[in-house]
Amino acid sequence: MVRLSQRWQVEATGLKMSDYMEILYPQSMTAKLLQNGEVIAEYKIEQCDSCEKLKKLDKFGYTKGQGREKLIWLCGDCR
């Protein structure tokens, strides 16, 4: 156990600061979040109707019509 924890410490301190990178796939409206070149998250994206940027989708941004159809979607910065 001691040997195992020592090895873990070496690996942990060997890591540099995490490099996050977001790749957007507008065709499928999805995005991947990469940390040090590895995919750590996948999520849907939506185009903001205000700033027209592609942002991570969250359902709170929708403004719905009376027929519950989605009228517009605003990103977190524009709400």
| Beta bridge pairs of residue 41 | 33
Does residue 40 bind Zn ion (CB under 5 A)? no
Q: Do residues 33 and 46 lie in contact, with contact meaning Cβ atoms separated by under 8 Å?
A: no
Does residue 45 bind Zn ion (CB under 5 A)? no
Q: How many residues bind Zn ion (CB under 5 A)?
A: 5
Nearest CB to Zn ion, comparing residues 40 and 72: 72
Burial of 73 (0-12, 13-18, 19+ CB in 10 A): buried
Q: Do residues 54 and 23 lie in contact, with contact meaning Cβ atoms separated by under 8 Å?
A: no
Does residue 33 bind Zn ion (CB under 5 A)? no
Does residue 57 bind Zn ion (CB under 5 A)? no
Nearest CB to Zn ion, comparing residues 30 and 50: 50
Q: Do residues 54 and 31 lie in contact, with contact meaning Cβ atoms separated by under 8 Å?
A: yes
Does residue 50 bind Zn ion (CB under 5 A)? yes
Which stretches of the chain bind Zn ion, using CB under 5 A?
A: 48, 50-51, 75, 78
